[in-house]
Each structure stands twice: as structure tokens, then as C-alpha cells.
Structure 1
Amino acid sequence: MENSLLMSLIPATGVVLLIIGFYKTWFEKQVQAQEHIQDLLGNVSNRNRPAKDQDNILKRRKKNKDGTASKREQLEIKLERANMLITPNEFYMISIGSALLGGLVIWFLSGQNMLITIPLGAACIALPYAFMSLKTMLRMKKAAAQFSDVLNSMVNAFKTGFGFSRAVQMVADNYDDPWGTEFGKMAAEMNLGASMEDALYSLSSRVPSPDVDLFVTALLIQKETGGSLAELLGNLSHTIRDRYKLFQKVGAISAQGKLSAGIVCCVPFLLCGIMYLFLPDAMIQFVTNPIGIALLILAGFWMCCGVGVLYKIVQIEV
């Protein structure tokens, strides 16, 4: 009776949460879009806006770096960096749905064992976070590899007589994600009335990279002091390309240490799996005995310490 009640409660709860989440996020998207457009269009005529907005953006960036931003603000920034076009509420609903679905699958596979289902099902809530982190990492790596080419394209646009807005639009049209997406957002912001400073600071917030910060700083200084923008971005592109080559060389040199850290992580789990295949009774007694559990916790702690030390050794700033 209890099992049948649980079987009916889990899907019903998931359906109710999904309905609430879809309605709430759909309504919030409309409200947020209208507020954002009205804020941009309503302040175009305000001449004091650039300095005011620049201060706000700088405070927001400092707030994010210091870790004083709220959890929702941090999640919004992470979703934007991963180019996941969902709101934080939608992400929370996906995480809850992942936990419910994972718990239901584990409940069937474990023979309806609640002691295994509850902790493993709760751990499934981290799957969307892991996917978001992986997507962000891959996207930032691709952005770092293509940034010098993007700057060269802007240099060619400036040499042919295009202005900054037209050069940004050209990059948005000719490149895929991430730079096509990010420069497309820049072009849309400037078309809606945002200043060049606003668009650049928004870009540096969405793409947390030293190269992008250098690009933004160079453009803002050039705007104040003047000079050839094509020559400036050409020299910057050359510097970023050399820096990326050095970064790749350092990554190749430290690959052995990273491989060692990966082996240290994988070997214990591989040995446990082999022992479970050949000595299942002994392994079950070991993981259910208090002494065995204490030994596993101790071994896991020292393994994490070793991996952390190896990670610090192979992390070389370029």
C-alpha cells in the first residue's frame, strides 16, 4: 500500500511543479523583457546615463567578484555565460525534476530500497549544475581560441571604413556561438539605445576572460584619448594570439600531472568495481560494516587531498 502511494505521489508532484514552473517562468519572461526594453528606450535621452550606468555595472561586477551577490543573481550570470536561454526558476524546476526522475529510476533499479533511493535521488539534483558548468567551460575555451580571429575581423572592418557598431554587427553575422551570440547581444543593446560603454561592460560580464577585459579596457581608453582603432586592435590581437599559444604549450607540459590526478581518482573506483564482480559478498559486508564505512570515508578524504594538491601543482597562470 505504501509503495503504491509513493508511486502515485512522485509523478503527481512532478507534474504539479512543472505546470507551476512553466506558467511562472512564461509570465516572468514577458515582464522582464518589457521592463528591459522600457528601461533602455526610456533612458536614451538622459545624458547622464552613461556615467551612472557605468558605475552600476562596475558595482555589479565587483559584487559578483566578491561573492556578495545573491544566489539568484549568481545563477542568472552562470546561465548567461552558458548561453542557456532559461530563467533561474526554470533551472530550479529542471533540477527538481531531475531529482524526482532520477529517484524514481533508482527506486526501480534498487528493488524499491528507500535507503539507496533517497540519497542517490537527492544527488541527481546536481546533474543540471554539472551540465551548466561543462557547457560554460567548453564555451569559454572556444571563445578563447577564436578571440584573436574576431579582433582581426574587426580590424579589417575598420580598415574598410566601417564604424564600431557596423563592425560588431559584422562579427555577429559571420561567427557562430559564442562570439556570434555575444556580439549579436552587443549589437542589439546598442540598437536599443545603450551606449558603447554599457555594451562593452555587459560583454565583459558575460564572458569572464582576461582577454575580454583587456579588449574592453583598450576600447574605453582609445575612446577617451583617440588614435587608430585598427592599429590598436591589431596589436591586441597579436598579443592575445601569442598568449593563447603560450597557454596551449603550458597545458601540454602539465598534461602528465593532470593525467596522474585523473588516475588517482579513477583507480579506487575501478578496484572496487573489480572486487565487487569477483567477491560480491565480501564487498557488501565491507560497505555495510561501520569499520568499512569509516575506512572508506578516510580513504576518500585523503584521495581528495591528493587530487587537490596535484591540481594546484599543474595549475599555472599564464
Structure 2
Amino acid sequence: MDLSTLVALTTGATLLACVLAVVGLHAHTTGRAQRAELVDRLTYTGPAPAGRRRRFPNLDRRLRRTKTGRRLERRLAATGLDVTPGEFFAAMLAVTAALWLIGQAALAPFFGPLAGLLGIWAALQFLTWQRQKRIEKFINQLPELARILANATQAGLALRTAIGMAAEELEAPAGEELGKVAHQLALGASMDDALGELADRLPSRELVVLVTTLVLSNRAGGQVVSALRNLTETLEERKETRREIRTQLSQVTMTSYAVPVLGVGALFLMNGVRSGALERMTGSPAGQIAVIIAFALYAVGFFLIRRLSRIDV
């Protein structure tokens, strides 16, 4: 084999390797884009947003691969907010950084990290508050939901069809949650699994009773109409009872929030009366320990008041 033939073979092999590398890179990039699109489509169970572009998609995909991100995604799904885990995490970091700087500038450098931790706690409490508000609203819709299901089954419709009908007639959040159940049933999920996930997203005793009634009726048959009629009356009574209890405990709830607010307000008042007092106080380890103990006592008072005023119906 002469030199010219060897050069030609080497050049051809090099060009072929380059072509294969370009084709492989293109296939890899296309596959990653399609996979990311499929993950976004499968993990988002709510209605498609109209005209809103999702932000921080790379951060969102990385978060969903972690256990913490998946837990955060489930909490966001329970709140009904049109926010991805990446967007919420970025907003939480921004709020934490802002509170850190405000606490450090307005009070003392020692209060910067404490204000940052307060921002993280406030963000998680916001999710809990939104979820609880959505659960309360869903519970108030349960009597109407049971009534629609009873009327539909009495008319001879199957339970799957009745759930789809209720999803169309009811407003959010019941309509949205039942729409997810109907979507899962259409994809082949069992009635037990679809309703079980609904009870996990919005946990409440009333919903557990309704889900148990529907699951048992779907398994063994029976008088589902009469059971739903009786359940409707029971849910109406529990709805009124919950409203009365919430009204009676409204003052206690406001007190639980007023206690830590007064404590933080006292810090600003102290620093306003004598400028630099907090910085001098937190300049020693004894002062820092005293501040941490004070914040811990305020937190304990808040949780104790909330716990003692909680009445399960």
C-alpha cells in the first residue's frame, strides 16, 4: 500500500468519524429535548397555562430528579398554584436573600441569618396555608359533589362517567381535582388508585369517607345512591359545625400570629430608641444566645397556641 492510498484511507476514516460524531451529537441533543418535553408534560397534571412561559426550566428539571424536589412538587400540586418547583425555589431564594440583607441592615449583622431562616419558614408556611385553604374550600364543595354523584348514578350512569360530569359542573378546586381523577381513569388507572391519590393530595376526614364509600361501592356494588344521599346530609352538618368552630377560634388564631409580631416589633423599637443597641447586644456570645433563646420561646408560644386551639371535627 503506497503513501497516497494510506492518506486517502485516513482522510476518509476521519471524515466518516466526524460525520458520525455530528449525527450522534444531533441525535443526543434532540433526544434530551424530547425527554425534557415529555417529563414536563407528564409531571404537570393541571390545565395547560395560556400564554405563560415557564421560567427556570433547567433548575426545575434538576429539582424534580431529587427527593426534595419531588416532595416540593407534590406540595405545590396540593396548593393548586400555577408554579413549578423551580420557580418556587428561585422565589424562595430571592425572598431569603432580601430578608437577610434587610435584617442585617435594619437591625444588626447577627439578625441576617435569622431573617433568612425566617424567609424559608415563611415560604413553607405559605404553601401550608394555601394547601389548607384549598382543602377547606374543597370540603365545602363535598356536599354538592356527593349530590351530583348520587343524581348521576341514580340516572344509570357509571361512576367514571359521574366523576367526569362532576368535574365539568363544579368550580375549582373540586372541578380541577376531579378532572385529574377523570384524566387518570381515562389513561387506565384503577378507581382505587385515582381516588387514593386524590385523598393524598387533599387529606381530610370528609374526603376519606367519600372516597371509601365510592371505592367500596365500585368494588362490591350495592346501594351507592342511598349511601351518597346519607353522606350528603352528614357532610352538610359537618360543614356547619366546622364553620361555627372556625368562627369561635378566630380570636385565638389572631393571637398566635400577634405574639411573634410583637416580639419582632420590640426589636425594631429597641433599635429605634437607641441606635446600635442590638448590634452591641449581639456582639457578645451571651447576647447572641439570649436572642436565640428568645426567638425559640416565641416559636414555642406560637406553636403551642396553634396546637391548643386546634379542634378536630
Find the residue that maps to 2:150 and give its secondary structure: helix
Deviations 1:87-109 (CA, angstroms, capped at 9, x unpaired): xxx52564246425753796599
Specify the alignment match of 2:309 in structure 1. 314
The answer as to 2:208 corresponding to 1:213 is yes
Q: Say whether the 8 Å CA contact 2:101–2:112 is kept in structure 1.
A: yes
Specify the alignment match of 1:4 in structure 2. none
Amino acid across the alignment from 1:140: I
Q: Say whether the 8 Å CA contact 1:204–1:213 is kept in structure 2.
A: yes
Specify the alignment match of 1:99 in structure 2. 93
Residue among 123, 131, 135 paired with 1:136: 131
Identity %: 21
Specify the alignment match of 2:171 in structure 1. 176
Q: Which moved more, 1:235-244 or 1:265-274?
A: 265-274
Alpha-carbon distance between aligned partners in 2 of 1:100 and 1:160, rounded to the nearest angstrom:
54
Alpha-carbon distance between aligned partners in 2 of 1:262 and 1:84, rounded to the nearest angstrom:
24
Query: Following TM superposition, by how much is the alpha carbon of 1:293 offset from its aligned partner in structure 2, in angstroms?
Result: 2.3
Query: Following TM superposition, by how much is the alpha carbon of 1:269 offset from its aligned partner in structure 2, in angstroms?
Result: 1.7
Residue among 249, 259, 265 paired with 1:264: 259
Alpha-carbon distance between aligned partners in 1 of 2:76 and 2:242, rounded to the nearest angstrom:
26
Q: Say whether the 8 Å CA contact 1:171–1:183 is kept in structure 2.
A: yes
Residues 117/313 of structure 1: CA separation in 2 closer, same or farther (3 Å cut): closer
Residues 98/253 of structure 1: CA separation in 2 closer, same or farther (3 Å cut): closer
Residues 130/34 of structure 1: CA separation in 2 closer, same or farther (3 Å cut): closer
Bigger radius of gyration = 2
Query: Following TM superposition, by how much is the alpha carbon of 1:256 offset from its aligned partner in structure 2, in angstroms?
Result: 3.5
Query: Following TM superposition, by how much is the alpha carbon of 1:180 offset from its aligned partner in structure 2, in angstroms?
Result: 0.7
Q: Say whether the 8 Å CA contact 1:286–1:293 is kept in structure 2.
A: yes
Q: Say whether the 8 Å CA contact 2:167–2:175 is kept in structure 1.
A: yes
Specify the alignment match of 1:81 in structure 2. 78
Residues 251/74 of structure 1: CA separation in 2 closer, same or farther (3 Å cut): same
Specify the alignment match of 2:185 in structure 1. 190
Find the residue that maps to 1:288 and give its secondary structure: coil
Q: CA RMSD in A?
A: 3.6
Specify the alignment match of 1:298 in structure 2. 293
Trace 1:47-58 onto structure 2 (pairs within 5 A).
Answer: none
Query: Following TM superposition, by how much is the alpha carbon of 1:233 offset from its aligned partner in structure 2, in angstroms?
Result: 0.8
Specify the alignment match of 2:148 in structure 1. 153
Query: Following TM superposition, by how much is the alpha carbon of 1:215 offset from its aligned partner in structure 2, in angstroms?
Result: 1.1
Q: Say whether the 8 Å CA contact 2:139–2:207 is kept in structure 1.
A: no
Specify the alignment match of 1:202 in structure 2. 197
Alpha-carbon distance between aligned partners in 2 of 1:286 and 1:259, rounded to the nearest angstrom:
31
Amino acid across the alignment from 1:291: A
Amino acid across the alignment from 2:93: A
> Any unmatched runs of 5+ in structure 2?
1-30, 45-65
Q: Say whether the 8 Å CA contact 1:158–1:167 is kept in structure 2.
A: yes
Residues 94/221 of structure 1: CA separation in 2 closer, same or farther (3 Å cut): closer
Alpha-carbon distance between aligned partners in 2 of 1:109 and 1:291, rounded to the nearest angstrom:
20
Residues 283/24 of structure 1: CA separation in 2 closer, same or farther (3 Å cut): farther
Query: Following TM superposition, by how much is the alpha carbon of 1:182 offset from its aligned partner in structure 2, in angstroms?
Result: 0.9
Amino acid across the alignment from 1:279: R
Q: Say whether the 8 Å CA contact 2:260–2:298 is kept in structure 1.
A: yes
Residues 82/35 of structure 1: CA separation in 2 closer, same or farther (3 Å cut): closer
Alpha-carbon distance between aligned partners in 2 of 1:173 and 1:228, rounded to the nearest angstrom:
25
Residues 96/215 of structure 1: CA separation in 2 closer, same or farther (3 Å cut): same
Task: Report the number of matched residues.
Answer: 260
Q: Say whether the 8 Å CA contact 2:167–2:176 is kept in structure 1.
A: yes
